[in-house]
Amino acid sequence: MSTPTVMKFDEALAKFEPVLGIETHIELGTASKMFCGCATGFGAEPNTQVCPVCLGLPGSLPVTNHAAIEGIIKIGLALNCEIVEWCRFARKNYFYPDMPKNYQISQYDEPLCVDGHLEVEVEGETYRIEIERVHMEEDTGKSLHVGGATGRIQGALHSLVDYNRAGIPLVEIVTKPITATEDKAPLVARAYATELRELVRSLGVSDVRMEQGSMRCDVNVSLMPRGASEWGTRTETKNVNSLRSVERAVRSEIERQAAVLDAGGTIVQETRHFHEDSGTTTSGRSKEEAQDYRYFPEPDLVPMAPSRAWVEELRATLPELPAARRRRVQGEWGLSDLELRDVVNAGAVDLIEDTVKAGADAATARKWWMNELSRRATEQGVELAELAITPAQVARIQAMVDAGELNDKLARQVFEGVLAGEGAPDEVVAARGLKVVSDEGALSAIIDQVIADNAAVADKVRSGKVAAAGALVGAVMKASRGQADAGRARELILEKLGAS
């Protein structure tokens, strides 16, 4: 068959209408696991955070972690869901080496939270994403398949399993079909994942880090021919590990499915895997040969029946949610839509707000976080919030700038010192001897020396080429190791050369 494997996106959209569905798994940041007391920290030595319960040893029994239920209810409430009065866990039965019990404790036909929605914005337009359900389950262990080409269990020489992750509380959020997004489908999918991440982060119930797997998206895509009344067959793309990948996976599936359908082929209902490098998906296991999970109510756990009073108590503890907050800070800080988006995407809203609370003005607070500190975070490969500097410290440095004790260049050196663990801003200033040279005598002496050393340039300035003074200012700054006040130096140079 010589059909093209992909169709151009615009062409695909002209012929087909995409329908999306997104299933998101979020690991809750509880101190202990879903059904036992084991710790949940990321990155521990493999198989050190395990016990008879999360290893599924014979005789062990699960007991529900109250904090996890609190976390999922908060998510449900923030997503405008109804929290049901009574529901049960269910067992999802299938054999896999990273599933200690060979069944997963999950929820099936009785999810805890139902019928919610989340609004997202794409290019000025608002899309309301309907939420079908939010349910509670436990995570599986993590497999590492060694040898073989695919990194999957088939063809591997051997496999290693880390059960530290087994039993970590996992919340699954399932959208209803997302329609009428047209050519914005990839962007809407990304915007949804972004907004969901922000929302959950604001609740403080998860660190929602896609690169560490604490937030994972499965993207369902189907196409229907223009004018058709029935949806097409969908595929489910897994292994989508970044917000950008969500967008790319949707786009790639639209392009692939369009090519298949356009050539008269049919879409197989299957799981597909997204590949970060190529931005495309490949076929995983077919749903036709998929297992029958034989769900049934989990007999080891009593039903969940969150009291209305408790639900209302939790509702009252919800923080200002991201959308409302964005509207507020945009007004308060006077940001354009684009500026706001950048701040949000950088995860800097909290940091800027806290810096402002510590005394800085919004514009400079934003400047430091979005420029200097963002650059350093990128260099270090960490999130902005993970930098070894607090909003209060940023505010303190700015205060020194405002007081004329530091200039921007010196301030950057203070940032460097703080980030390098040299201490608080004042300690760094003292230790490094950073101080704007405002002593006119010392500055004057430096300038005289610079003029003497750069006679040719000085002559140009004297002859009226004022722009050439910049080189002298630079030399003064260099000679003063950046501590001179550049503005004052320029004034003095021009004065001494009779060009002012």
Partner 1 sequence: MSELVKKTAAELGSLIASGETSAAEVARAHLDRVAAVDGDVRAFLHVDGETVLAQARKVDERRAAGEELGPLAGVPIAHKDVFTTTDMPTTAGSRILEGWRPPYDATITARLRKAGLVILGKTNMDEFAMGSSTENSAYHPTHNPWDLSRIPGGSSGGSSAAVAAYEAPLATGTDTGGSIRQPAAVTGIVGAKPTYGGSTRYGIIAFASSLDTPGPFARNVLDAALLHEAFSGHDPMDSTSIDKPVPPVVEAARRADVAGLRVGVVKEFAGDGYQPGVTARFNEAVELLESLGAKVVEVSCPNFSYALPAYYLIAPSECSSNLARFDAMRFGLRVGDDGGRSAEEVMALTRAEGFGPEVKRRIMLGTYALSSGYYDAYYGKAQQVRTLIARDFDAAFGQVDVLVSPTTPTTAFPIGERADDPMAMYLADLCTIPANLAGNAAISVPCGLADEDGLPVGLQIMAPVLGDDRVYRVGAAVERALEDRWGGPLLGKAPELAEAAK
List 31, 39, 44, 61, residue binding partner 1 (CB under 8 A): 61
The distance of closest approach from Cβ of residue 76 to partner 1 in the complex, given in angstroms and rounded to an integer, is 22
The answer to whether residue 316 forms part of the interface with partner 1 (CB under 8 A) is no
Name which of 231 and 296 has its Cβ closer to partner 1. Answer: 296
Return the DSSP state at 7: -
The answer to whether residue 102 forms part of the interface with partner 1 (CB under 8 A) is yes
User: HSE (CB half, 13 Å, CA atoms) of 248?
Assistant: 17
The distance of closest approach from Cβ of residue 426 to partner 1 in the complex, given in angstroms and rounded to an integer, is 51
List 123, 230, 288, 292, residue binding partner 1 (CB under 8 A): 292
Name which of 70 and 121 has its Cβ closer to partner 1. Answer: 70
- φ/ψ of 309, rounded to 5, equals -65, -40
The answer to whether residue 64 forms part of the interface with partner 1 (CB under 8 A) is yes
List 9, 11, 25, 56, residue binding partner 1 (CB under 8 A): 56
Name which of 93 and 269 has its Cβ closer to partner 1. Answer: 93
DSSP string, 153-204: STT-SEEEEETTSTT-EEEEEEEPPB-S-GGGHHHHHHHHHHHHHHHHHHHT
CA–CA dist 182, 340 (Å, integer): 25
What are the Cα distances from residue 230, in Å, to 1, 18, 222, 224, 328? 27, 12, 11, 7, 42
The distance of closest approach from Cβ of residue 97 to partner 1 in the complex, given in angstroms and rounded to an integer, is 5
CA–CA dist 239, 196 (Å, integer): 18
Binding part of the chain for partner 1, among 4-12, 90-98, 426-434, 452-460 by CB under 8 A, reads: 90-98
If one counts every other C-beta atom within 10 angstroms of the C-beta of residue 161, the result is 19
Binding part of the chain for partner 1, among 38-46, 89-97, 173-181, 197-205 by CB under 8 A, reads: 89-97
The answer to whether residue 124 forms part of the interface with partner 1 (CB under 8 A) is no
Name which of 166 and 395 has its Cβ closer to partner 1. Answer: 166
Instruction: Say if CB 305 and CB 85 are below 8 A apart.
Output: yes
List 182, 276, 283, 296, residue binding partner 1 (CB under 8 A): 296
What are the Cα distances from residue 354, in Å, to 202, 332, 427? 14, 14, 22
Name which of 229 and 307 has its Cβ closer to partner 1. Answer: 307
The answer to whether residue 301 forms part of the interface with partner 1 (CB under 8 A) is yes
The structure tokens listed for 71 are 């976390």
List 23, 55, 409, 462, residue binding partner 1 (CB under 8 A): 55
Token pair 């299938």 in the structure block, residue:
94
**Nearby residues of 378 by Cβ (< 8 Å), 6 or more positions away:** none
Q: Is 425 exposed, middle or buried (0-12, 13-18, 19+ CB in 10 A)?
A: buried
3-state helix, strand, coil in the chain (%, to 5): 40, 20, 40
CA–CA dist 79, 325 (Å, integer): 15
By CB under 8 A, the residues from 158 to 177 that bind partner 1 are 159, 161
The answer to whether residue 63 forms part of the interface with partner 1 (CB under 8 A) is yes
List 144, 153, 324, 382, residue binding partner 1 (CB under 8 A): 153
The distance of closest approach from Cβ of residue 77 to partner 1 in the complex, given in angstroms and rounded to an integer, is 25
The answer to whether residue 97 forms part of the interface with partner 1 (CB under 8 A) is yes
The distance of closest approach from Cβ of residue 45 to partner 1 in the complex, given in angstroms and rounded to an integer, is 17
List 2, 10, 45, 58, residue binding partner 1 (CB under 8 A): 58
Binding part of the chain for partner 1, among 4-12, 54-62, 349-357, 426-434 by CB under 8 A, reads: 54-62
The answer to whether residue 288 forms part of the interface with partner 1 (CB under 8 A) is no
CA–CA dist 426, 403 (Å, integer): 13
What are the Cα distances from residue 89, in Å, to 61, 64, 135, 302, 342? 14, 10, 9, 8, 41
CA–CA dist 61, 67 (Å, integer): 18
The answer to whether residue 455 forms part of the interface with partner 1 (CB under 8 A) is no
By the criterion CB under 8 A, which residues form the site for partner 1? 52, 55-64, 91, 93, 95, 97, 100-103, 153, 159, 161, 292, 294-296, 299-302
